[in-house]
Amino acid sequence: MQRWRNSPDQGDRRPLRVQSPPNRLSDLERQRILKLANSAEFGHQSPCQIVPQLADRGQYIASESTFYRVLRSAGQIKHRARSSAPVWKKPEPLCATAPNQLYSWDITYLPTTVRGRHYYLYLFLDIFSRKAVGWAVYENELSDLAADVLRDVCAREKIQRGQVVLHSDNGNPMKGASMLAMMQELGVARSLSRPAVSNDNPFSESQFRTLKCHPTYPRKPFADLTQARAWVGEFVHWYNEEHRHSGIGFVTPAQRHAGLDVDILKNRKQVYAAARLRNPNRWSAGIRDWDRIDAVHLNPSKSDAALRRQERRAA
């Protein structure tokens, strides 16, 4: 380095040598590996499947690691041909601005005294009001039974064709022929979660957690179907009529479903404003936010979620 700096006119005199391993694959050998890995016979198999089969035929082309290295350099280390993994897109964002626009439903297990046997709770939830609009407990998990519950819900809530979108996961009862036929008959649109992604159906999952964490949830399994139905009936009454839900401004789902939450939240705001006037020294900032939540989103896009966070910070 010192000699080069003292004699800059001679330049960099390091030997310009490109080292290459003596056992390096030739271009012809690499092309042979790629052609074999993408052939009709082996295009859907991994190298760990290809190499043993070639050995059974008395052929050795390259090791498994070499196959993987050549495929990686060609950008083919991922799924090839028919072995490509299915791509599940996130469900379309949905928004409810009033009751009876967007429903969510699911099925959960209720334990019995017989090991391995369960009762099944079918529960339909209005996402805007969080009201449990329909439920049933059965001994089986069937699409026919879910269709019956949906028909009763639509009759009770007086649902018109094209009024409601029903969201659920990808369980067999949700996709069964009887359920799909009933939805078409009633004019109910369908929305499905991605397989094995519980976050796509968060409202039903949250409600089931509330159910199973309730103080009155039996510590022992249900003795019979009558006992299970009786307890669920009491829970649904408490949930709809007495439980003040944190996601809707601490009003009951029944109050929000009936539109009574508008006056309730307005009155709370007036109470807080009057309390601040009476003793302003106790208030270092504004009063509590009792504004009504006018829209509830299901599976919102990232841009929509970021916009709502900015709106909350600005408020």
The angle at the Cα of 181, spanning 177 to 183, to the nearest 5 degrees, equals: 120
Pairwise CA distance, residues 245 & 22, whole Å: 72
| pLDDT of 97 above 90 | yes
Q: Percentage of the chain with pLDDT > 90? A: 64
Under CATH, what is the fold of the domain 91-315?
Nucleotidyltransferase; domain 5 (3.30.420)
Q: What residues contact 66, with CB distance under 8 A and at least 6 apart? A: 25, 33
Q: What residues contact 60, with CB distance under 8 A and at least 6 apart? A: 54
The phi and psi torsions of 224 (rounded to 5 degrees) equal -155, 175
What are the residue boundaries of the structural domains of the chain, listed by start? Answer: 23-83, 91-315
What pLDDT was estimated at residue 83?
A: 55
Taking the whole predicted model, whether its pTM rises above 0.75 is answered as no
Pairwise CA distance, residues 301 & 79, whole Å: 28
| pLDDT of 310 above 80 | no
| pLDDT of 126 above 80 | yes
